[in-house]
Structure 1
Amino acid sequence: MFFRTGVRIAAVCLALGSMQPYAMAASNIVDTAATAGMFSSWIQGVRDAGLEPALKGPGPYTVFIPSDEAFAKLPAERRDALRNKETLAHVLKLHMAPGKLRLKDAKEGTRIKTQAGETLTVHREKNTIKLGEGEVLEPDVEVGNGVINVVDTVFFP
């Protein structure tokens, strides 16, 4: 699903608004993300990289899920790089952290160590939460095995 810039935030909120009630009862991150219908690129990547069992398991994990729109805006060379399973797994692990982290509670400069071993830094600008170079479109969607945060950027090392 691709959004025009002017309606991108509204569309994300609408999709996740319908996701929130389900999220309370959902047992895992992958199934919850699938209900929103706007994360098919991320879900396919998780499957191709072999990370689905972990993200359907007990966790807990905090994930930073890029929308399909975020994957669509990647330059061609980065999309090509994701065809390599090891690169794909590393990039997706940049979007995962152990435990349940709530970005709404995170202070400016909070550093989050990812499953890839790299660090993402939280920045606050007015009412916006930034994570690295990306904006958090919807923070802190709780599910049975963790927390989902929707981001507008695919993080690369």
Structure 2
Amino acid sequence: MRKVIVSAALLVSSVALAGGGSAVPTGNTIAAIVANDPNFSTLLSAVQAAGLVETLSGPGPYTVFAPTNAAFAKVPQDQLTALLNNREQLRALLLYHVVPGRVTAAQVSGLSSATTASGGTLNITASGNTVRINDATVTRADIRASNGIIHVIDTVLMP
């Protein structure tokens, strides 16, 4: 499993560098929080490769359902490679993880669905202390950023 995570991170990093990437963001924006958490290194590389650093550093507000490195490692290698080699598909996938506005965990658990920045729909179910977004489970909620909020998920959301 570690080999898959490392392979995915290297693959994403090479795509980011080939595409020009972006400097590592600073401050307390969503992009900066992702950049400064080693559990999101694959997500950061994907955000850079898709050209979304500026968006996630902007004023927002945004709610981001952020998959960890372990979540990216669950994606079959051939699918991940294809995705990383197609900037538009990568961008659409990442924007599927973003909901316009600042939606806290308390608000999320009261919803049955949400419309994403890519125009897709996320299905939301809450049972006890567990909140699921499509097939992903929220493992950490309400990481506050200056331009929104992050909820950590254990699976990459596929439109």
TM beyond 0.5: yes
SS of the residue corresponding to residue 92 of structure 1 reads helix
What CA distance in whole angstroms lies between the structure 2 residues aligned with 1:91 and 1:78? Answer: 12
> What amino acid maps onto 1:27 in structure 2?
N
**Alignment partners' CA distance in 1, 2:140 and 2:41:** 17
Amino acid corresponding to residue 38 of structure 2 in structure 1: G
TM-score (norm 2): 0.78
Q: Matches of 2:48 and 2:35 in 1, distance apart?
A: 12
Structure 2 residue aligned with 1:123: 125
SS at match of 2:102: coil
**What does residue 96 of structure 1 align with?**
98
Provide the residue aligned with 1:55 in structure 2: 56
**Cα offset, 1:48, TM superposition:** 0.6
Runs of 4 or more off by more than 6 Å in structure 1? none
Q: 1:142 and 2:144 equivalent?
A: yes
Of 114, 117, 120, which aligns to 2:116? 114
How many residue pairs get matched? 134
1:108 Cα deviation after fit: 5.0
Aligned to 1:44: 45
Question: For 1:38, what is the secondary structure of its paired residue?
Answer: helix
Distance (whole Å) between structure 1 residues aligned to residue 131 and residue 109 of structure 2: 10
Structure 1 residues without counterparts, runs of 5 or longer: 3-25
1:147 partner SS? strand
Deviation at 1:133, TM superposition (A): 0.7
How far off its partner does 1:152 sit? 0.4
User: 1:104 deviation in Å?
Assistant: 2.4
1:19-98 to structure 2, matched below 5 A, reads 26-83=27-84, 84-98=86-100
Letter in 1 for 2:158: F
Q: RCO (CA 8 Å, sep 6+): is it higher in 1 or 2?
A: 1
Amino acid paired to 1:55: L
Query: Residues of 2 paired with 1:51 and 1:81: CA distance?
Result: 19
Give the RMSD, CA atoms, in angstroms.
1.7
Alignment check: 8 A CA contact 1:104 1:139 kept: no
